[in-house]
Structure 1
Amino acid sequence: MLTNLSIKNYALIDNLNVSFESGFTCITGETGAGKSILLGGLALVLGKRADLSALRDKEAKCIIEAEFQIDKYGLKPFFKTNDLDYEDVTIVRREIHPSGKSRAFINDSPVTLGILAKLGDSLIDVHSQHQTMRLTENDFQLKVIDALADNSDILVDYKSQLSKFKRTSKELEDLIEFQKATIKEHDYNSFLLQELEAAPLKPGIQEELEEQYEQLNNVENIIELLSGGHQLLNDEQAGAVNLLTELKQLTNKLSAYGNQYVELNKRIESLFIEADDIANEFQNLQEVTEADPQALEEINVKLQQLYDLQKKHGVQEVSELMEIKTELAEKVDAAENIESEISNKEAEVDKVKKELLSFVKQISERRSKVLPKLKQQLENSLKTLGMASASFDIGLNTVQEFKSNGSDELTFLFSANKGGAYGELKKVASGGELSRIMLTIKAILAKYENLPTMMFDEIDTGVSGEISNRMGEIMQVMSENMQVFSITHLPQVASKGDYHYKVFKVEEAFVTRTKMKKLNADERVVELAEMLGGKDISDSAMAHARQLLN
């Protein structure tokens, strides 16, 4: 419930701080005194978008703060989901700066307006003439029926299943769309894949082929160089091997004269062995090296194949071609297996749909059972509000569509007169009739739901006398289970409140300010008398006021 409201620098309000109790609170005041300003400030702290023109002092910021007792509202999951500190006494604050910047806080944690508005919906239900038109909407009417049918838990399960159904259906649509796209691309992708599979793709292949190509393409020069190398090593006159043979013979003789010559001889022996081995290698390479035009052509074809593929796919490395090959293989494989995937997904969608239809059936059956009860309660309550002949024709029809609250279409028809034709509420009910119907529905809902604080903004417009007295009694009964506010211009309603606040304007130093005060017993009698007979209070008006309070 709302326990405190503080408004600073908003419209005609300079600084207002007021505390509230549980039960039934009435707020009165002359037209233009600022009751709508109070509601406007409350709307801001509940998440409504800010209007910079609402600032009283354009150089200072507007601060609106509301304190709520929320331990009975089951809001801990909301706070956990939005990473907010939960407190049984929660404070929401809204700041509007002269620059136009707006900030919102829940228990001093900054939040978005969206989060603030969601919390606000769970804290206060502000009923205005605009909200009365919600009575004509099917979603609102079904919400009333669901409250009586105790459908809250099953609707949670239904919405979860509906979300799953939408998700799996979208996945099926995506697979079908993918299939359509792959049918066009499959042949081309398969062709590209075959080209890459036919190419010699492996790490280092390009460098290896390029080396082989260079050798075969320059075979005559290589043979000539190998021959020259062999000749330099084995020439009879000045070949390195023959010279090292003579040098080896010389050091062999020297080794007889000391260890230092033995070591020298070993080194010369090593040089001789290496030179002789190199000479043999030159000869062997020369013998196996020969021109092979066919091999050269084959290697050239493979290299050209790699170069063409790199150009075609816009890459420079064989490794990149290998990656493209893998990607194409996956696409081709996916395209070839898509029929199986679609079949499996269709089976999954059917299974989810069957479970969803089961929820739809349960919801619809439970709704149908309570329709006679709702009709009876509405008609009985409206009789006490001066609508003795009011009657309803309420019916359900299940359609082949999954809506956010089931698959029912509701016909909620009304007739205000005995024997009169039934019609849609928005077409046949007057504003006063809609207000009384809405009050009756809110009273019914209060019995079945843990509703938040209810604030009625002149719901009694268009009624008077005994009817307004009965409307006040209905709100009084509602307040036994919840906090109820009524902004009213009728003394019959105001007299039913446990608490009475007056909104009024004062002029101080050529400035008009809106203020609000809680009336004591004597002040309350005077206020009701004024509401009954005007500023010139008569003895009869005072007596009538006391009678209303008693």
Structure 2
Amino acid sequence: MLTSLSIKNYALIEDINIDLQSGFTIITGETGAGKSIMLGALGLLLGDRADFSSIRDSEKKCVIEGNFSISNYKLENFFKKEDLDYEPNSIIRREILPSGKSRAFINDTPVRITALQNLGTYLIDIHSQHETLSLGNSDYQFEVIDTIAKNESLIIEYKSELKEFRALLKRFDELKEEQSQAAKEYDYNLFLLNELEEAQLQAGMQDELEERYEELNNVEELTENLGSAINYLQQEEIGSLESLKSVRSHLSRIAQFSSNYESFYERIQSAIIELDDLEAEMTSALERVEANPEELETVNQKLQLIYNLQKKHNAENVEELLKIMNDLREKVSVTENAETALNEVQLAIKEQEARLSKTADKLYENRKKIIPAFIEQTEQILKDLGMPNARLNIELEQGEEFLSNGRDRLEWYLAANKGGSFKEMKKAASGGELSRIMLAVKSILAAQSNLPTIIFDEIDTGVSGEIAQKMGEILQKMGNNMQVIAITHLPQIAGKGASHFRIFKEDNEETTRTRIIRLDEKARIEELALMLGGNTKSDSAMAHAKSLLN
């Protein structure tokens, strides 16, 4: 439950701090005093979008902080999943900086807004005046029935299965399209593939062929220059090797005189060994050089084939041609194995559809099972709220199409008066009747859920007198099991609260600000008298106010 709320520099609020209790709490105040501002601040704590224009003083930051007692609501797993420190008394803080940037914290740990939104669903249900109209909305009607039927985990399972089912259907359509396109191009792709495969391409072969072509195409130049080079190394009088050997002979005679001379000798010895090896390899290479017109022609043909294929496929090298060949092989394979691939996906669709149908059937049965008791409870509460002849009918039909939350069609119908015919909820009920029906629904949901706090923003719209008294009793009863906060204009409801706050605007010479104070018994009587007497505290209004509190 919400144990305290602090709001600083937000709209007309300069700085307010209120401590809240369990049970039924009342908030009253004149229209425009700032009740909606307080709800807006709470909305920010629950992850609503921040608006820089709502800052009172644009040079200071806006801070909204709520303390929540959550020890009884089994939220440890949520905190663990969000990687947050769990505290039985947790603090949520929202800040809007003068720069316009918004920040959020849970127990002083920075979090994303989605974390606030997810946590908020476990903490507070804020019922706005606009929400009453959602009674005629199919999504809201499903939400009520599924909450009572405890379908939450089943709906999560269904949505996951539906996502997989739709992905398979999409894959099937894509595969059909791919195969249709591939079939049109099959003959041409097969021709290109065969052409590439016949070329017997291998990575690196182009470099090898080009090198071999240069050797075969320049036999005379190779023979002449290799021979001359070997001759210069081998000649007895002027050959490089012979000259180096003479140098070595001279150095050998002085090598023992110092390490420096010995180093000269060793280095010349290494050079002779290296030149000996080089001469041997060059001689071997010369022996292998021979004219071979047939091989030259073969190498040239292979290279021309590669060059033609590169030009045809706009490829820079053999490696790119190999990749193109693999792509063509896959396209051809798709066409040749089309039936098998389609059958595999169709089988997967059939199996997923069976799983999805089973889950949808469970949802249908769970919903169908709780509807009679829900109708009976709702009608009984409506009798207490001055609608003794109201009858509720809920039609649930299972179709064939897989929808976002099952295969069911759901519609609520109301016959508000005796002998009246059933009509769709949104067409059958007046504003006051909708308020009473919504309160009946909320009270049933409150008994089913483990939600700590519910806030009603003028749930009493369109009602008065004895009906308001009954509404107050229901809200008071709800407060026995959870924290209920009601913003109201009706003294009959206000008198039922265990605690009472008054919101009002205060003017000074420069600004207007919103304030909120807790009322003691005397102040409550005066507030109720004003609500009863239209801003006048007559003796009769004061007496009536005392009776409402008693």
Distance (Å, rounded) in 2 between the aligned partners of 1:120 and 1:280: 88
Task: Give the 3-state SS of the residue equivalent to 1:206 in structure 2.
Answer: helix
* Cα deviation digits, residues 281-338 of structure 1 (max 9, x gap): 899769xx4553x543332211101112223333433333334333433443344334
Residue 446 (str. 1) matches residue 449 (str. 2): no
With over 3 angstroms needed to count, the CA separation of the structure-2 counterparts of 1:282 and 1:502, relative to structure 1, is closer
Distance (Å, rounded) in 2 between the aligned partners of 1:136 and 1:221: 97
- Residues 124 and 454 of structure 1 are in contact (CA less than 8 Å); yes or no, is this contact kept in structure 2? yes
With over 3 angstroms needed to count, the CA separation of the structure-2 counterparts of 1:100 and 1:387, relative to structure 1, is same
- Residues 136 and 426 of structure 2 are in contact (CA less than 8 Å); yes or no, is this contact kept in structure 1? yes
Partner of 1:254 in structure 2? none
Q: Which moved more, 1:462-471 or 1:176-185?
A: 176-185
* Cα deviation digits, residues 119-150 of structure 1 (max 9, x gap): 22332111111111111111211222223333
Letter in 2 for 1:168: L
Letter in 2 for 1:156: I
Distance (Å, rounded) in 2 between the aligned partners of 1:405 and 1:133: 21
Distance (Å, rounded) in 1 between the aligned partners of 2:489 and 2:282: 122
Q: Which moved more, 1:444-453 or 1:308-317?
A: 308-317
1:120-519 mapped onto 2 (5 Å cutoff) = 120-218=120-218, 289=290, 292=293, 294-519=294-519
Partner of 1:83 in structure 2? 83
Letter in 2 for 1:414: L
With over 3 angstroms needed to count, the CA separation of the structure-2 counterparts of 1:165 and 1:316, relative to structure 1, is closer
Letter in 2 for 1:109: T
With over 3 angstroms needed to count, the CA separation of the structure-2 counterparts of 1:301 and 1:471, relative to structure 1, is same
1:58-73 mapped onto 2 (5 Å cutoff) = 58-73=58-73
Deviation at 1:471, TM superposition (A): 0.2
Taking structure 2 as the reference length, the TM-score comes to: 0.84
Letter in 2 for 1:537: K
Distance (Å, rounded) in 2 between the aligned partners of 1:163 and 1:516: 49
Distance (Å, rounded) in 2 between the aligned partners of 1:50 and 1:64: 11
Distance (Å, rounded) in 2 between the aligned partners of 1:136 and 1:26: 28
Partner of 2:17 in structure 1? 17
With over 3 angstroms needed to count, the CA separation of the structure-2 counterparts of 1:317 and 1:279, relative to structure 1, is closer
* Cα deviation digits, residues 72-122 of structure 1 (max 9, x gap): 444344333433333222222121223322222222222333332332233
Q: Which moved more, 1:347-356 or 1:334-343?
A: 334-343
Computed over aligned residues only, the root mean square deviation of the Cα atoms, in angstroms, reads 3.3
Deviation at 1:21, TM superposition (A): 0.9
- Residues 200 and 302 of structure 1 are in contact (CA less than 8 Å); yes or no, is this contact kept in structure 2? no
- Residues 491 and 532 of structure 2 are in contact (CA less than 8 Å); yes or no, is this contact kept in structure 1? yes
**Mind listing any 5+ residue stretches in structure 2 that lack a counterpart?**
243-275
Task: Give the 3-state SS of the residue equivalent to 1:407 in structure 2.
Answer: strand
- Residues 23 and 483 of structure 1 are in contact (CA less than 8 Å); yes or no, is this contact kept in structure 2? yes
* Cα deviation digits, residues 454-494 of structure 1 (max 9, x gap): 11111112111110000001111111111100001111101
Task: Give the 3-state SS of the residue equivalent to 2:21 in structure 1.
Answer: coil
**Mind listing any 5+ residue stretches in structure 1 that lack a counterpart?**
234-238, 248-272
Letter in 1 for 2:58: K
Distance (Å, rounded) in 1 between the aligned partners of 2:11 and 2:166: 47
Residue 529 (str. 1) matches residue 529 (str. 2): yes
Distance (Å, rounded) in 1 between the aligned partners of 2:285 and 2:147: 100
- Residues 223 and 286 of structure 2 are in contact (CA less than 8 Å); yes or no, is this contact kept in structure 1? no
- Aligned residue pairs total 514
- Residues 219 and 291 of structure 1 are in contact (CA less than 8 Å); yes or no, is this contact kept in structure 2? no
Task: Give the 3-state SS of the residue equivalent to 1:179 in structure 2.
Answer: helix
Letter in 2 for 1:469: Q
Q: Percent identity?
A: 51
* Cα deviation digits, residues 170-225 of structure 1 (max 9, x gap): 33333333323433444443333222211142244334433443454455777888
Partner of 1:38 in structure 2? 38
* Cα deviation digits, residues 377-412 of structure 1 (max 9, x gap): 121111111112211221111122222321110121
* Cα deviation digits, residues 222-270 of structure 1 (max 9, x gap): 78889x88xx99xxxxx979xx9xx9xxxxxxxxxxxxxxxxxxxxxxx
Pair member with larger Rg = 1
With over 3 angstroms needed to count, the CA separation of the structure-2 counterparts of 1:299 and 1:418, relative to structure 1, is same
Deviation at 1:47, TM superposition (A): 1.9
Letter in 2 for 1:437: I
With over 3 angstroms needed to count, the CA separation of the structure-2 counterparts of 1:82 and 1:178, relative to structure 1, is farther
- Residues 70 and 89 of structure 2 are in contact (CA less than 8 Å); yes or no, is this contact kept in structure 1? yes
Deviation at 1:438, TM superposition (A): 0.3
Distance (Å, rounded) in 1 between the aligned partners of 2:282 and 2:309: 43
Taking structure 1 as the reference length, the TM-score comes to: 0.84
Distance (Å, rounded) in 2 between the aligned partners of 1:128 and 1:483: 17
Distance (Å, rounded) in 1 between the aligned partners of 2:102 and 2:282: 91
With over 3 angstroms needed to count, the CA separation of the structure-2 counterparts of 1:92 and 1:298, relative to structure 1, is same
- Residues 383 and 390 of structure 1 are in contact (CA less than 8 Å); yes or no, is this contact kept in structure 2? yes
With over 3 angstroms needed to count, the CA separation of the structure-2 counterparts of 1:284 and 1:31, relative to structure 1, is closer
- Residues 148 and 370 of structure 2 are in contact (CA less than 8 Å); yes or no, is this contact kept in structure 1? yes
- Residues 149 and 370 of structure 2 are in contact (CA less than 8 Å); yes or no, is this contact kept in structure 1? yes
1:102-113 mapped onto 2 (5 Å cutoff) = 102-113=102-113
- Residues 179 and 334 of structure 2 are in contact (CA less than 8 Å); yes or no, is this contact kept in structure 1? no
- Residues 47 and 113 of structure 1 are in contact (CA less than 8 Å); yes or no, is this contact kept in structure 2? yes
Distance (Å, rounded) in 2 between the aligned partners of 1:10 and 1:360: 46
- Residues 220 and 291 of structure 1 are in contact (CA less than 8 Å); yes or no, is this contact kept in structure 2? no
Letter in 2 for 1:524: R
Distance (Å, rounded) in 2 between the aligned partners of 1:438 and 1:279: 101
Distance (Å, rounded) in 1 between the aligned partners of 2:316 and 2:139: 62
Task: Give the 3-state SS of the residue equivalent to 1:433 in structure 2.
Answer: helix
Letter in 1 for 2:427: K
Distance (Å, rounded) in 2 between the aligned partners of 1:443 and 1:279: 101
With over 3 angstroms needed to count, the CA separation of the structure-2 counterparts of 1:225 and 1:156, relative to structure 1, is closer
Partner of 2:258 in structure 1? none
Task: Give the 3-state SS of the residue equivalent to 2:337 in structure 1.
Answer: helix
Task: Give the 3-state SS of the residue equivalent to 1:343 in structure 2.
Answer: helix
Letter in 1 for 2:183: I
Partner of 1:538 in structure 2? 538
With over 3 angstroms needed to count, the CA separation of the structure-2 counterparts of 1:539 and 1:345, relative to structure 1, is same
- Residues 529 and 536 of structure 2 are in contact (CA less than 8 Å); yes or no, is this contact kept in structure 1? no
Letter in 1 for 2:206: Q
Task: Give the 3-state SS of the residue equivalent to 2:92 in structure 1.
Answer: strand
Distance (Å, rounded) in 2 between the aligned partners of 1:545 and 1:278: 119
Letter in 2 for 1:46: L
Deviation at 1:351, TM superposition (A): 0.9
Q: Which moved more, 1:129-138 or 1:340-349?
A: 340-349
With over 3 angstroms needed to count, the CA separation of the structure-2 counterparts of 1:220 and 1:428, relative to structure 1, is same
- Residues 219 and 290 of structure 1 are in contact (CA less than 8 Å); yes or no, is this contact kept in structure 2? yes
Partner of 2:267 in structure 1? none
- Residues 50 and 102 of structure 1 are in contact (CA less than 8 Å); yes or no, is this contact kept in structure 2? yes
Distance (Å, rounded) in 2 between the aligned partners of 1:35 and 1:225: 102
With over 3 angstroms needed to count, the CA separation of the structure-2 counterparts of 1:295 and 1:378, relative to structure 1, is same
